[in-house]
A and B are shown apart, each in its own frame.
Chain A
Amino acid sequence: MKRLAAAAFASGLMASAAFAEDVTLTMWTESSNAPEGVFAKEFSDMDNGIKIDVREVRFDDLVAETLRAFATKTNPDIIAIDNPDHAAFASRGAFLDLTPMVEQSDQIDMDNYFDGPRSSLTWGDGVFGIPRASNTIALYYNKDMFRAAGLDPDSPPATWDALYEAAKKLTDPSNDVYGIAFSAKASEEGTFQFLPWVQMAGGSFDNINVDGAAEALDLWKAFFDEGLTSPDTLTRGQWDSTGTFNGGNAAMVISGPWELKRMAADTQFDWGVTLLPVPSDGAPRASALGDFNLAVFANSEHPSEAFRFLEYYDSQVERVWPEFTRMPSRKGVALAPTGNAKIDAAAPVFVEQLQYARNRGPHPEWPRISKAIQDGFQSALTGQKSSKDALDDAAAAIQKIMN
């Protein structure tokens, strides 16, 4: 930096005091190849006197690692955090309320964001970050297998019954093909996949044992009991489950847009995406709202510099889809064509599905609520409890956590 400053001085450009000293910010994220990592690098290379050191933290360890750092006051200035975890930090004052800065900002306007992502980072009257992007889950299906099984590839299953029938027809043990893949893992991924089914049936995380939810869980259980999905669906995450779809070992898979790039590159067959099937024709739709938020820590020494990065991020939001196949959380940003026909055909489906996407929480005790939900569906799927009992127990556990 010294050389740059000297050069600036020599050419008589050193007009403002901003050049006097560089500010170095730290940012933690799951991947430096994610948009915030790439944008941070660009931002650091700009002539603005702000450098951002990006540190990668494994997704599974992000919250635990950040808590540890926060306890010892060695936390970063900026963090990219999974949206259901946001409330825990915001509600306890760990994140900075950006309201005053947003009011001054020409770039960021909270009203530009969709309600779902915005509410995930709102706590009380404050806003505690900006959304990085949004994602949601939908149903991918193998059109070649649909044709082979005598199903119409242009009218994929739209209801739970149709999904079950399709899964049954598509299952072909002699060729190692399961009808459907998804993730019922005992982790946040499992909650992410299960909650929309409860929501479509009229339930929610604080009302998990509605009648329809037990029906949804019965359907999941039928997938397992009748061999329509691999038993490893219980222990596999979404990325690995989708891997079996890409490899031709599952005819359908429920997952999100983050799969598109790999799927377009790896698959040898014709595939499409459709909205998550609903309980019956005309029933309300729901899906999960995923992805991360960017937040600034309350104890950061350079909050305004950190906010300037958030502004830069917001200004680059059009690139989030074509370059990263992540969906912008800002209204009115069209998904630019990526040049890949299959990805471009999937885009409008995910855009529509995102309209129905709902938050997990927000609740400061989300990890424990999520665990109760996971215990619920896993104890039913392994036959330890009936779906009804499992969800009743989960509801009781969640009530206890929330009170």
Chain B
Amino acid sequence: MGRLARSLRDGIGFDTLLVFFTLAYLLAFAGLPLLYNIVLSFQSVDMFALGSLFHEVTGLENYRAVFEDPLARTVLWNTILFTLGSVLFQFTLGFALALFFNQAFPGSTWFRGLFLAGWVMPGLVVGVLWNWLLSGDFGVINWLLLNTGIIDDPIFWRSDTDYSLLAVMLANIWYGVPFNMILLSVGLAAIPEDLYEAAELDGATAVQRFFTITLPMMRSTIGAVIALGIIFTLQQFDLFAAITSGGPAGSSMVAQYWSWELSFRQFDFGRGAVIAVMMIVVVLGVAAIYVRSTRQETRL
């Protein structure tokens, strides 16, 4: 048995082999499509020329068209609002629930598990559910709000341009809370109990313990959860498709849905690719935060 074979079986060769397969996989199934997407964004792609690899190069024409589109500003603003709003509430509610279930009362683990039920449902199903809840004429949410006297007239969540984005955001917050909660619960469980005991002996109040022990010890977890939250929210597509389709009149259009709409409804693949490219840039930035957060985690 040669040295190479030995190395391959149990040594540096084996490690290299594993890394090689992973890299090759990533390059083939993530790297190449990503690069091709960038190339597409500089080309004019006819709907029937999808099969050919190369298309007419039009330079920055697609970028110009996207930025000049009257919808572009709405989309930019909506995307920021939707992402920040969703992540803020998913995180706060998720954290609150994680702390609550961390109190180890009878049945706490069961209830925590039950909360995950929402998260394991497919996005389209969640979307259809919320579609009914938010329905203007017969929706449960309107019925509740009307009967408690909070509103006098029904809100047409999906059809009112002032509420359409909020409607999807509500659904998305509900959808994302369990995921935030479970990740944050894991972080909470990792904090050594004796830290709290020592602080308690020293007379620290619950609020003081939260800000001086829980939050600092959770820093890397929080960074990771927020970064993942942003990425997942930027990916959120099903809820838009099921609830508003980006409408009415583009009032709930966000970048990810617009990209799909341009590519697969208007068959303008070049412009669809432009938006995808810009989203990749944003996601790269967020991913950097995620990598930093999780790197610290392994050092702990």
Contacts and interface: CB of A to CB of B under 8 A. Distances in A.
A282 B185 CA distance: 72
Interface string B38-81: 00000000111011000000000000000000000000000000
Given A232-B137, A232-B159, A249-B137, A382 B251 contact: yes
B160 A231 contact: yes
B47 A235 contact: no
Nearest to B247: A186
Interface stretch (B208-216, B221-229, B265-273, B280-288): B265-273
Nearest to B52: A71
B50 A68 contact: yes
9 contacts: A88-B48, A92-B48, A186-B247, A187-B245, A231-B136, A233-B159, A234-B159, A235-B247, A383-B161
A382 B244 CA distance: 14
Contact of A235 (B51, B158, B267): B158
Interface stretch (A160-168, A303-311, A373-381): A373-381
Interface in B235-282: 244-251, 264-268
A34 interface: no
Contacts of B265: 64, 367, 371
Interface string A315-351: 0000000000000000000000000000000000000
Contacts of A383: 161
Contact of B245 (A94, A186, A384): A186
Q: What does DSSP make chain A's interface, helix, strand, loop or mixed? A: helix
Contacts of B101: none
Contacts of A186: 245-249
B248 A234 contact: yes
A276 B110 CA distance: 59
Contacts of A233: 159
Contacts of A359: none
Interface residues of B, number: 26
A67 B47 contact: yes
A368 interface: yes
Q: What does DSSP make chain B's interface, helix, strand, loop or mixed? A: loop
B249 A379 contact: yes
A378 B248 contact: yes
Nearest to B160: A231
Give the one of B46, B47, B161 with max A CB within 10 A. Answer: B47
Nearest to B251: A382
Contacts of A381: 248-249
A230 interface: yes
A230 to B, nearest CB: 6
Contacts of A70: 48, 50-51
A381 B251 CA distance: 12
A175 interface: no
Contacts of B266: 367-368, 371
A72 B250 CA distance: 33
B21 to A, nearest CB: 27
B235 to A, nearest CB: 19
A232 B142 CA distance: 14
Interface in A231-263: 231-235, 244, 249
Q: Which 3 A-B pairs have the closest CB atoms?
A: A71-B50, A71-B51, A231-B156
B172 interface: no
Contacts of A64: 264-265, 267
A378 B247 contact: yes
Nearest to B164: A235
B135 interface: yes
Contacts of B160: 231
A382 B50 contact: no
A266 interface: no
A235 B48 contact: no
Contacts of B247: 185-186, 234-235, 378
Nearest to B137: A230
Nearest to A230: B137
Nearest to A393: B70
B272 to A, nearest CB: 12
Contacts of B50: 67-68, 70-71
A184 to B, nearest CB: 8
B48 A382 contact: no
Contact of B249 (A73, A94, A176, A384): A384
Nearest to A377: B249
A81 to B, nearest CB: 14
A368 B250 CA distance: 15
B249 A382 contact: yes
Contacts of A68: 50
Contacts of A384: 161, 249
A403 B245 CA distance: 29
A186 to B, nearest CB: 5
A61 B247 CA distance: 19
Interface string B150-180: 0000001011110000000000000000000
Contacts of B158: 232, 235
Nearest to A369: B266
B51 A73 contact: yes
Contacts of B264: 64
B245 A235 contact: yes
Contacts of A368: 266-268
Given A176-B137, A382-B249, 10 more contacts: A64-B264, A71-B48, A71-B51, A186-B247, A235-B247, A249-B137, A367-B267, A371-B265, A378-B247, A382-B251
A5 B156 CA distance: 63
Interface in A66-110: 67-68, 70-73, 88, 92, 94
A90 to B, nearest CB: 11
Interface string A43-65: 00000000000000000000110
A382 B136 contact: no
Nearest to A176: B137
Nearest to B260: A64
Nearest to B71: A375
Interface in B174-192: none
A249 B136 CA distance: 13
